[in-house]
Amino acid sequence: MRKLSLILILFVILSVSAVSAQESSTLIVQSNGDPQTLSGLYANDGNSLSVVTFLVEPLVLGGENWGDSIEPALAESWTVSDDGLEYTFNLRQGVKWHDGVEFTAADVLFTYQVVLLEENAIDWRSNLLQNGEPFGFEVVDDYTFKVILTQPDATVLTALSIPIVPAHAFESTNVVDAPFNTNPIGTGPYRFVEWNTGENIVLEANADYWRGAPKIGRLVVSFIEGVENSANALLAGELDFARIDGADLTPFQDNPDFTIVEAPRDLMRYVGFNVQSELYSDPAVRQALAVGLDRNAVIDAVAGGYGILPDSVFNRSVFVYEEGRNAQYAFDPEAAKQQLADLGWTDSDGNGFLDKDGQELTLNLAYLGTWSLMQNISPIVYDNWRALGVNVTLVPLDDAAANTEIYDNQNVEKSYDAFLGGWGLFGPEPDHYRNYLASETGFFAYNNADVIALFDEGRSTSDADARYGIYEQADALLWQDLPLIPIFQPIGVYVFRSDLNLEEAEINGTFLTGLKFPGNAYFVES
Amino acid sequence: MSSRSSTLPLSLVSDQHRNEVRGWQLFRRHRLALASGLLLLMFIGIAVFADQVTPYDPNATNTDYARGKPQAPSFEYALGTDNYGRDYLSRTISGVRVSLFVGISAVIFQLLIGVTIGALAGYFGGWLDNLLMRITDIFLAIPAFMLLLILAGILGGTLLALIFAIGALNWMTVARLVRGQFLSLREREFVMAGQCIGASHWRLIAVYILPNTISSIIVAATLSIPGAILTESALSFLGLGVPPPNASLGNMLGGAQQWIRTAWWMWIVPGATISLIVLAFNFVGDGLRDALDPQLR
């Protein structure tokens, strides 16, 4: 009897350990909070992209939010007609949606048609327009899809890089409030299981994934706000993988339990000017302020040194970027003061602030006050520019006010002189900056005919070398004109459990999740 | 107490004077309160002369010195610096100024509302009392901090908005206290005497009754300043307080969150300062209550 119970106990212990081994095959990653949507069509904010990127895929990688190079995904290959007007995509065969239905060209057609419907209000709509007219689409057979243009357009591949959604999920519903938006189906490495509001989203491996079934069975996107909290959660074992640049890294350095990997992120933090404002319409003033801003100090103070000092208004992932081509605006407060003095800005009334013709050099610096990064950047900009004699006022705005006053690209009238902003995930295509750099109603109200002409030319030129030359010119012009002062491009510091192998998953800062092929991650047996 | 029952307004003054002298003696016997009072005087002095006593401009960064990390106390920076290289002593001093200014102003504001409502309700009684007290109950029933968060969000982060928000949501206790005192005082002989010689309602409230409630109001006010200071700190901690880059003890604590493991001065300095101010006000309030409040004597 005794022996039997001992065996039983052993058995129980063994089975328990077997269960725990299975459980350890869960990867817990971090996101800041509940996504606004789980539909790949609408996801264009950090929280949504942090989940959606695991679930869906575009035809081709390399568009906005989809990495730094053009690579085949759901389209296996493509050919371009000699006149540059017809793109024929050969779709991958045997790809299954998460519900088992087969992926075909009909889904691709459906996706682009849905995006084009204005009533659906999908951000990507403008991607599929050419001079205001939509691209032509044609389903040749189940695995061949054709895009027909009216004139050559070099940005087609990245423009088409939009997550494909299954047509059959929308048979009896409209797109705007489809059940799909909270219970999505994709072709990606992980499929949606459940959403615990305010807590996490649980995904499980898509065993039929065309790149091969993910080795980790479950993926949990846990909602933890802020890098410090993420760092604490990593230490407490509540997260397996997180990006924590800006947090105190001391506990992870020289710690065998954790691995640290750095990768530049396809993001930019910047001070944007209202180019139409009275005081800051002169590029020379903007240049002086750039010279008077200690951007390295910002990198040290807010990013713990994990940032790249930019020398272009474009991010590094843009194909035309080349380090050192533009002259750097190196920090030199004395030179900045001199430049302002040369422009006639002096402190004639002795109140500590510069003035010219009886007008004081005031600057309203707006930013999203709930964004801690912007909050952290603001004291340095404030102090640096005050030291030059600019009467800076910080204007932190709440989310609603920021949406109407900063993140508004409909109006030319802006309420700020300058604002702190961040953007990115534009991928390799410089044309993705068009709405900001070549549009009068963009954030900077920047309306430079030369820049707009270059952007238009760049779009219609298909020859790669010629394109490079065009955007090189635009880059030099923008760096000279400086509608925005790029402060830094962050370097992601990805920290994860040392028994997690991410080599084949490719840590890549141009994806919001930091992982290019999340399905290839696995735990090393120890 | 009983000796007062036959007092008339004229002799009341000297009676009050005797009370004051005796109150001061009692307060002095309360050692802790006395020490706290001195400490508070020091803090108030620092706050008033903040511009003169801060060694550095509290918003001036020294990023070369800090290199992105808070720097420990040194000869140059007595309380160290934050991660921007801003002198922590200067920031603490300007934080003390903000805290005291907001705390005291908010309490004055809440006294204005509370005393007015309490006096009207207690003096006139009847339907007015009923109405005002139900309003008070409604305010008491609202979870004040939640409403404060919303109010601070709507009004934006200026000092005046903070003072208004804190004051407008914390006057209820004072109103009830004053009403209770008025209820009992208005039945007293000296008030009746006043009515007999034809004193107006306004005069009866302001000259006859109110002075007799002053001591309890002072005690209540002193004891609610710490609450107001803590509320301000909590709001600043959450980023809804004083506008950046200005320092307040609360937003300094907020900024210290990510350095808790590595830079003790970042959180100990503002934390200890808030605690000291709050404790000091509490002890002074206790001392004042022992000294002034007739009910407890």
Q: What is the pLDDT of residues A426-469, one digit of tens each?
A: 889 999 898 889 888 888 989 899 999 999 999 888 888 999 99
CA A246 to chain centre: 18
Report the chain A residue with the minimal C-alpha distance to residue B251: A375
Residue A140: both structure tokens together = 């040749």
pLDDT classification of B5: cutoffs 50, 70, 90:
very low
The chain B residues in contact with chain A (CB within 8 A) are: 59-61, 63-64, 66-69, 83-84, 86, 153, 157, 239, 243-245, 257-259, 261-262
Q: What is the pLDDT of residues B219-277, one digit of tens each?
A: 888 889 998 999 888 888 877 778 778 888 988 988 888 788 888 899 999 999 999 99
Q: pLDDT above 90 covers what percent of chain A? A: 71
The whole-number pLDDT of residue B294 equals 56
CA A157 – CA A61 distance, rounded (Å): 9
Interface touch B245/A382, C-beta < 8 Å: yes
Average confidence (pLDDT) over A306-330: 94
> What are B80's two structure tokens?
């160290």
| Overall residue count recorded for chain B in this entry | 297
Instruction: With beta carbons less than 8 A apart as the criterion, state whether A419 and A406 touch.
Output: yes
The residue assigned the tokens 């020379």 is: A284
CA nearest B280: which of B216, B226, B224? B226
Q: Which of these ranges, A99-108, A207-216, B76-85, has the smallest mean pLDDT?
A: B76-85
Candidate from B61, B157, B243 with C-beta closest to A383: B61
The pLDDT, as a whole number, for residue A5 is 56
Q: What is the pLDDT of residue B8?
A: 45
Report residue A201: phi and psi, to 5°: -125, 130
pLDDT at residue B149 tops 70: yes
Question: Domain B53-292 adopts which CATH fold?
Answer: MetI-like fold (1.10.3720)
How close does chain A come to B129, measured CA to CA in Å? 40
Query: What interhelical angle do B172-185 and B88-124 show, nearest 10?
Result: 40
How many Å apart are CA A475 and CA A314, to the nearest integer?
7
- Indicate the DSSP class of residue A119: G
* Banded model confidence at residue B6, pLDDT cuts 50, 70, 90: very low
CA A389 to chain centre: 35
Distance, CA of A202 to CA of A279 (rounded, Å):
51
pLDDT value for A375: 86
With 70 as the cut, is the pLDDT of residue A487 above it?
A: yes
Confidence bin at A24 (pLDDT 50/70/90): very low
Q: Is the ipTM of this complex over 0.85?
A: no
pLDDT in tens, A63-89: 888 988 999 999 999 999 998 899 999
Q: How confident is the model at residue B2 (pLDDT cuts 50, 70, 90)?
A: very low
pLDDT one-digit tens code per residue, B180-189: 999 989 888 8
3-state secondary structure of A114: helix
C-alpha–C-alpha distance, residues B61 and B70, integer Å: 12
A375-421 pLDDT per residue, tens = 889 999 999 999 999 999 998 888 888 888 888 777 788 889 999 99
Question: Tens digit of pLDDT for each residue in B104-141?
Answer: 999 999 999 999 999 999 999 889 999 999 999 999 99
Q: From the list A250, A375, A383, which residue is nearest B262 (CB)?
A: A250
pLDDT for the residue A343:
94
Which of A294, A379, A398 lies at the smallest CB-CB distance from B59? A379
Residue B43 and residue B272 in contact, taking contact as beta carbons nearer than 8 Å: no
Consecutive H or E run containing B284? helix B264-292
Q: What pLDDT does residue A46 have?
A: 87
How far is C-alpha A110 from the chain's CA centre? 25
pLDDT of residue A494: 96
Asked if the model's pLDDT at residue A501 lies above 90, the reply is yes
- Whether the per-residue pLDDT at B28 is higher than 80: the answer is no
Give the pLDDT band of residue B293 (cuts 50, 70, 90). low
**Spatial CA neighbour of B92 closest among B109, B103, B78:** B78
Tell me which chain B residue has its CA closest to the CA of residue A229: B258
* pLDDT of A491 higher than 70: yes
C-alpha distances (whole Å) from A464 to each of A66, A155, A389, A452 are 21, 11, 46, 19
Report phi then psi at A322, rounded to 5: -145, 125
Average pLDDT, chain A: 90
Dist CA B101 CA B47 (whole Å): 8
Q: Tell me the chain B residues in contact with residue A294 when contact means C-beta distances shorter than 8 Å.
A: 63
Reading the block at residue A517, the tokens are: 């092929």
pLDDT at A3: 54
Sequence-distant (≥ 6) Cβ neighbours of residue A521 within 8 angstroms: A27, A214, A215, A216, A500, A501, A502, A504, A505, A515
How many pairs of residues across A and B have Cβ atoms under 8 Å apart?
69
Range A144-168 average pLDDT: 92
A20 pLDDT above the threshold of 60: no
Q: Which of A375, A392, A488, A491 to mutate to test the interface with B (most CBs of B within 10 A)?
A: A375
Among B59, B239, B262, select the one facing A248 at the smallest CB separation: B262
For A180-192, how does the pLDDT look when each residue is reduced to its tens digit (9 = 90+)?
A: 999 999 999 999 9
Taking an 8 Å cut-off on Cβ atoms, the answer to whether A369 and B60 are in contact is no
Choose from B63, B94, B151, B251 for mutation: most chain A CBs within 10 A. B63
Domain boundaries, chain B: 53-292
Specify the pTM: 0.80
Tokens standing for residue A490: 């962050």
For residue B10, the model assigns a pLDDT of: 47
pLDDT at A16 over 90: no
* Mean pLDDT taken over chain B: 85
A394: part of which helix (H) or strand (E)? strand A391-397
Mean pLDDT of B151-155: 78
- State which H helix or E strand residue A140 sits in: strand A136-141
- How far is it, in rounded angstroms, from Cα A47 to Cα B3? 72
What type of residue is B282?
A: N
What single-letter amino acid sits at B31? R
Return d(Cα A395, Cα A401) in angstroms, integer: 11
Reference B159, options B214, B98, B110, B235; nearest CA is B98
